[in-house]
Structure 1
Amino acid sequence: MSDIEFPDTLIAPERTAWEEHRAGRLTVATANAVQDAITAHAKAVGMPRVEVEMALKRAVRHAEAAG
């Protein structure tokens, strides 16, 4: 899946955003919170934001495939 370890402070907002998206009720506030968290994490670990975002989405959206 992903070699990146994500803290719950990053997993939880992405899960919320994914659930809202699937229900057709994703808000701008939720999307912005996820993007802000991804940007901060990417900067903290020294990785490109897009790589962190893609790995996080795989980790959350495809977690059932790993289990």
Structure 2
Amino acid sequence: MTIDFPDNLIALETTAWTQIQRGELTVDTARAVHEAVTAFALQKGLRRMDVELGLKTLVRYETAA
């Protein structure tokens, strides 16, 4: 399944991933990503887990190539 993620959601996940790599992930960042993923999934009628996994794959693997 291909999901067209909005730029703001990609930016949030990118921030979280950068913080994770530095060992600096904050609760506020984690919460912001979770809430944005949940809202996007509801808006698009998708499963939250599918959105979350797709977003993590995009940010962590596809943009690194």
**Normalised-by-shorter TM-score class:** over 0.9
Match of 1:3 in 2: 2
> Offset of 1:45 from its aligned partner?
0.3
Of structures 1 and 2, the one with the larger relative CO (CA 8 A, separation 6+) is: 1
**2:42 aligned with 1:43:** yes
Q: How far apart in 1 are the matches of 2:59 and 2:4?
A: 12
> Offset of 1:9 from its aligned partner?
1.2
Q: Percent identity?
A: 50
Structure 1 residue ranges, 4+ long, deviating more than 6 angstroms after superposition:
none
Q: How many residues align?
A: 64
Match of 2:19 in 1: 20
- In structure 1, the gaps of 5 or more residues are none
Q: How far apart in 2 are the matches of 1:8 and 1:15?
A: 10
TM-score by structure 2 length? 0.94
Q: How far apart in 1 are the matches of 2:7 and 2:25?
A: 20
Q: How far apart in 1 are the matches of 2:58 and 2:2?
A: 10
- In structure 2, the gaps of 5 or more residues are none
Match of 1:58 in 2: 57
Counterpart of 1:26, as a letter, is L
Q: CA RMSD in A?
A: 1.0
> Offset of 1:62 from its aligned partner?
0.3
Q: How far apart in 1 are the matches of 2:46 and 2:5?
A: 13
